Chain A
Amino acid sequence: MLLRAEGLTKVFPGVIALNDITIDVAEGEVHCIVGENGAGKSTLIKCLTGVYKPEKGRIEVSGEATTEGGVQFAAVAYVPQEIDLFMQMSVMENLFMPFERTGVTTPISYRALEERARPIIEEYGIKATPRTLVSELSVADQQLVQIARAVQHEDAKILILDEPTSSLTDDDATRVFQVVRRAKARGMGVIYISHKLDELAVIGDRVTVFRNGRSVASDYIENVDIDWLIREMTGRKLAWEQSFVPNSGDGDVVLDVRSASGPGFQDVSFQLRAGEILGFSGLVGAGRTELMLSIYGTTPLYAGEITVHGADGERAGGRSSRRKRSPEMSLKEGLAYLPEDRKRLGIFGGLSVAANTSMMSLSGFVRGGTIRQGTEKQAVLEEVKRYDVRFPTIDTAIRLLSGGNQQKVIIARTMMVTPRIVIFDEPTKGIDVGAKYEIYDLMRRLAEEQGLGVILVSSELDEIVYCSNRAIVMNQGRVVSEFDQPLNKEALVSAMFGHRDPIGNVNE
């Protein structure tokens, strides 16, 4: 065994983060670790990389016990989930940083650096020259630079990847897999953490499931399937046996988009009805988010008309279309947008759960110029209960909550202004499996019980197929096809790559 951790236990006040975990990885093996957020995966990584010192247990590298973090640090190459590179420096500089450890001598010869970097860039298939600035690369290439930097370290025997494909398209994920296979071939042991269960079969040899700080199950990949994984991760039976398609998709038209063109999309027309979930599928870069931002009013509309219909079927707010739209105006018309980048655009990280929840509806609590804090708190408590948000206290800073609970707070916040149309942009990105299903169920309830028109933009096909009444597929800024239930995955995929479906009615 290349790496063996035995009986690791790490305790934080009030919680056992790791409970008697034993895990190993052999040469040339990819060992996948899955589990919901908070299951103990990050704590394990921190123990393996020497950041935390476990209370109990031992870690062996190539059969040698290591109690000091230093030994491990040299043998373990760790690639974090979020890009952690020097953005304003070149690829070659990033590859060899810190220079003292990679044998780059002062004064730095940039020509020599370039020569050393070129074969690495080729080997990893990074689309860049050695002198390209990292900030100019795509996320996928940045991720590959990160892996290359970690792996090409001479003593590195073990590679730990933390959700390396979480923000990549399937195409780009394949490039990462190739690199992982190359590391395998070199005899490295790989610990691969992921939320994307279907990629485990592609890349993994073994899988271990974490739940509540324990390792609950472990098996070879060929022996397991996705249902098994979900069952072990959540401790309950939950899979796509259940459909989240609302049974209420035939209401009045609430949003009418006609021949809309804007930055990143052209000539898009569609209608959204009350009570339905309308899925928007497509590859990353197909123009879905751009379209939604224009509808919402944060980016301009070059041509076309966007009409939001009020409860009485009339145009809400009496205006529409080309006149400059703004988020403020959209919200007034009853149209809300929940962004993909939750951390930066969704939450107010440093503020409390309560403050985040009421931020959109404050004016409703004002009497005589001041906010009635009692009424506000009451309303907030009701709303977070309705959406089953879980948190230590209502005054806890929201950034300390899990992604799923943050998303629920954002939903609660939005529902406090009683919109009639809600656009969800990748609502379950970075959210663990159990919470994903809760979000799907919430969307279904919003459509069914409150008659909302819901737009779901998602790159996960399953989400589109199991949640939407209808699905629209976009490719390169245009609507390619529109599908009704029952949705067919193969047809969706084919349309995503630009093939017009003969049955699907294009731009009706």
Chain B
Amino acid sequence: MNNENQVAAKGAGAPPWVRAATKSPLLPIFGILVALIVIASVGSPHFLTEYNIQALVRDLAFAVLIATAMSMLLLLGELDLSVGANASLSGVLAGTLMVQHGVPAFLAFVIGALLGGVFGAINGILVAGLRLNSLVVTIGMTGVYSGIALVLTKGKAITGIPEEILFLGKGTFFGIPIPFIVAAVVLLLALAVLRWTPIGRYVYAIGNSAEASRLIGIRVDRIRVLLFASVGTVAGLAGMLYVARLGSSQTSIGGEWAINGIAAAVIGGIALTGGTGSPLGGAIGAAIISVISNLIVLFGVNVYWQSAVSGIVVVLAISLGSFSAMRRARRERMIKTRDAAAEPLKVGV
């Protein structure tokens, strides 16, 4: 926290990115994350151990993957509750291909991720083509995807996933768990698309007003399907990484992913109505949730209480986000009052 104050004090003399960072609406939640990490390091001797950090970062990878995907959809004003079921079905299908049909493991891994994309596209086509509400559609599709997974496996795990791909879930690269590297790449990709491509801008436009977007010729439905498909692909990828981590395909994979993904995005300042925020906020939100879960275990909270405590902390974090949003809104009202007296623009300033 001290560090931030120093940066803020430097003010105008600092390089542009520092100034942008100090003005960023993500600063408060980033502060919360830092505070949580400090509390954890001071409060528990086990937090900063290599074993714990490894486990934490590996969990975090999956949380960030799903939070990034969910953030993109929320920006568009949609959501996908079926990401978990999608991941588990993709994992089961790919697992079957590897174990029972002898498909090369790496190929099956890729097919698994792509299948996720297909399932996502199905969601998108239902939402865009039939003008259905994405909440309702994806609640339904959750049942369909997890149901198919159950039928295929009869509830049993598919074991014997080939050794050669297990490193994708369990391995590290220069000490960093591979799933985390994948998650970071996906996050950076999402940020780059949003910032530097027309499609990214259109996502924000559609989230602000789909009708206005249509009226200026943006292909709203196409972008909706594309985003649902991308999100499905990320879900499928996450599912495959999890299969590689466990060494088996299970129908239980992804149970709470969708809910945690939405919570992470909301903590990260993404409006459920769409159009404002950044997946970076969603990723920070995911990190907050992961650190809290980790803390609860480290502090030895009674196992029956864990879910309640984690819920309370998540609601607290969301409330804090809403509080800072209210403060922002108040500042904006002042700008609006001032607009009357706004000076003509001086170009070049």
Contacts and interface: CB of A to CB of B under 8 A. Distances in A.
Given A346-B212, A348-B275, A17 B339 contact: no
B217 A350 contact: no
A421 to B, nearest CB: 15
B308 interface: no
B10 interface: no
Contact of B216 (A359, A385, A388): A359
5 contacts: A348-B275, A363-B198, A370-B192, A385-B347, A397-B332
Contact of B275 (A339, A350, A382): A350
Interface stretch (A37-45, A110-118, A219-227): A37-45
Interface stretch (A144-152, A266-274, A398-406): A398-406
Nearest to B198: A362
State the majority secondary structure of interface residues on B: helix
A326 B215 CA distance: 9
Contacts of B192: 370
A347 interface: yes
Contacts of B341: 15, 38, 212
Contact of B342 (A366, A384, A392): A392
A467 interface: no
Contacts of B334: 12-15
A371 interface: yes
Interface in A372-402: 373, 381-382, 384-385, 388-392, 394, 396-397, 400-402
Given A327-B217, A337-B215, A391-B345, A37 B340 contact: yes
Contacts of A346: 212, 215
Nearest to B338: A15
For the side of the interface on B, what is the size category? Answer: 35 or more
Contact of B345 (A37, A366, A390): A390
Contacts of B257: none
A36 interface: yes
B214 A327 contact: yes
B16 to A, nearest CB: 13
Interface in A179-218: 212
B208 A348 contact: yes
A351 interface: yes
A363 B213 CA distance: 15
B212 A392 contact: no
B336 interface: yes
A32 B331 CA distance: 31
Contacts of A36: 340
Interface of A: 12-15, 17, 36-39, 43, 212, 298, 326-328, 330-331, 337, 339, 344-351, 355, 358-360, 362-363, 366, 369-371, 373, 381-382, 384-385, 388-392, 394, 396-397, 400-402, 405, 413
Interface string B203-216: 01101110111111
A366 B347 CA distance: 23
Interface string B310-349: 0000000000000000000000101111111111110110
Nearest to A39: B340
Given A13-B334, A38-B339, A350 B208 contact: yes
B201 interface: yes
A391 B339 contact: yes
Contact of A15 (B211, B216, B337, B347): B337
Contacts of B218: 359
Interface string B189-202: 00010001110011
A349 B208 contact: yes
Contact of B204 (A348, A385, A413): A348
Contact of A366 (B198, B215, B276): B198
A390 B201 contact: no
A212 B211 CA distance: 35
A330 to B, nearest CB: 8
Contacts of B340: 15, 36-39, 212, 402
B208 A390 contact: no
Nearest to B196: A370
A373 to B, nearest CB: 8
A373 B214 CA distance: 24
Q: Sort A-B residue pairs by CB-CB distance and give the 6 closest, nearest first.
A: A38-B340, A348-B208, A328-B217, A370-B196, A362-B198, A390-B342
Contacts of B204: 348, 350-351, 355
B219 interface: yes
Contact of B201 (A337, A355, A401, A402): A355
Interface in B133-174: none
Interface string B37-75: 000000000000000000000000000000000000000
A17 B337 contact: yes
A344 B211 contact: yes
B198 A348 contact: no
Contact of A347 (B212, B342, B347): B212
A400 B339 contact: yes
Contacts of A360: 216-217
B104 to A, nearest CB: 32
A434 to B, nearest CB: 11
Contacts of A38: 337, 339-341
B212 A351 contact: no
Contact of B208 (A298, A328, A351, A400): A351
Contacts of A349: 208-209, 275
A400 B209 contact: no
A309 to B, nearest CB: 20
B215 A327 contact: yes
Contacts of A382: 347
B81 to A, nearest CB: 24
Contacts of A15: 334, 337-338, 340-341
A394 B344 CA distance: 12
A359 B207 CA distance: 13
Given A347-B212, A349-B209, A370 B338 contact: no
A493 to B, nearest CB: 31
A13 B334 CA distance: 7
Nearest to B346: A385
Nearest to B335: A400
Nearest to A362: B198
A413 B205 CA distance: 14
Given A344-B212, A381-B347, A396-B335, A370 B217 contact: no
A415 to B, nearest CB: 13
B214 A298 contact: yes
B208 to A, nearest CB: 4
B197 A370 contact: yes
A384 B345 contact: yes
Contacts of B205: 348, 351, 359
Contacts of B217: 326-328, 330-331, 360
Contact of A389 (B198, B207, B276, B345): B345
B339 A328 contact: no
Nearest to B201: A362
Residue among A348, A369, A388 having the largest count of chain B Cβ atoms under 10 Å: A348
